Amino acid sequence: MKWYDIFSNFYDSSLERLYFSSRKRAAELLDLKDHLTVLDIACGTGANFKHILGSSKNIFLYGTDYSEGMLEKSQSQIERNGWNNTFLFQADAREINYSTIEIHIKKKIKFDRIICVLGLSVIPEWELVLENLIEMLEENGKIIIVDVFAEKRDFNTWLVEKIAKADLNRKIWQTLQTKTSNFHHEYLPVKESKVGGKLFVAVGTKTQI
Ligand SMILES: C[S@@+](CC[C@H](N)C(=O)[O-])C[C@H]1O[C@@H](n2cnc3c(N)ncnc32)[C@H](O)[C@@H]1O
């Protein structure tokens, strides 16, 4: 059993209040419209779903994570809310790319939007994963990352890293900036002491294939 299978039992009750408004902001920046296809990578309990689907009933949403426990919580949300166009698959993010996507969702597709909230600080080989995500975007598609970077490390940084199995030293937005256009980055109003560093949102557009 993975740590996140256990964490899934108290993940939302301990963290959702902290991250709710940041998820909302991320969904705003995604610039969602009807009929878009969205991938939520390392989707966890599906806490982003209501923000992504809130603005439109005709969005096709794929959520993926490697933890069965987290995906079970996502599945419960989908059933509770009757979201018909929302699909889940279990996979290690390192194994998801344009060549393998068909194995996971039985379709060879690219995505209009990709979102990853608090995933790339946890997933090993995150640079490769980010590159593969950008490859899976349609031209003019947007990718949005919400994550934490610890500019000054302290006890809270250490604690969050232990609990979340994260590495808060990754300058994820910088890599995103070099690989996308129309790049935008902003810090989100969450106390550093609560999340172990600065919570940021970064968004970029894929402009050349
Ligand atoms: C901090 S949680 C974030 C969950 C969710 N995105 C959110 O916003 O609450 C990190 C997530 O990354 C997932 N994860 C960790 N390593 C992974 C991997 N190699 N492939 C896919 N998911 C992974 C965990 O199962 C967990 O759900």
What is the Cα 207 distance to its own chain's centre?
21
Q: Would you give the distance in Å from CA 112 to the centre of its chain?
A: 14
Q: Does pLDDT of 54 surpass 70? A: yes
Which among 179, 86, 165, 88 is positioned nearest to 132, based on CA atoms? 179
d(C-alpha 16, C-alpha 12), whole Å: 5
Residues lining ligand 1, Cβ inside 6 A: 4, 42-44, 47-48, 65-67, 70, 92-94, 117-119, 122-123, 164
120 CA → ligand 1 middle, Å: 8
State the distance from the centre of ligand 1 to the C-alpha of 71, rounded, in angstroms. Answer: 10
Every domain of the chain and the residues it spans: 3-205
Asked if residue 135 lies in contact with residue 168, where contact means CB atoms within 8 angstroms, the answer is no
Closest ligand 1 atom number to CA of residue 146 = 8
Closest CA to 137 of 108, 104, 106, 111: 111
pLDDT band at 80 (very low <50, low <70, confident <90, very high): very high
| pLDDT, averaged across the chain | 96
**According to the CATH classification, is domain 3-205 in 3.40.50.150?**
yes
**122-168 pLDDT, tens digit each:** 999 999 999 999 999 999 999 999 999 999 999 999 999 999 999 99
What mean pLDDT is predicted for residues 63-85?
A: 97
Q: How far is CA 2 from CA 8, 42, 67, 70, in A?
A: 10, 14, 7, 10
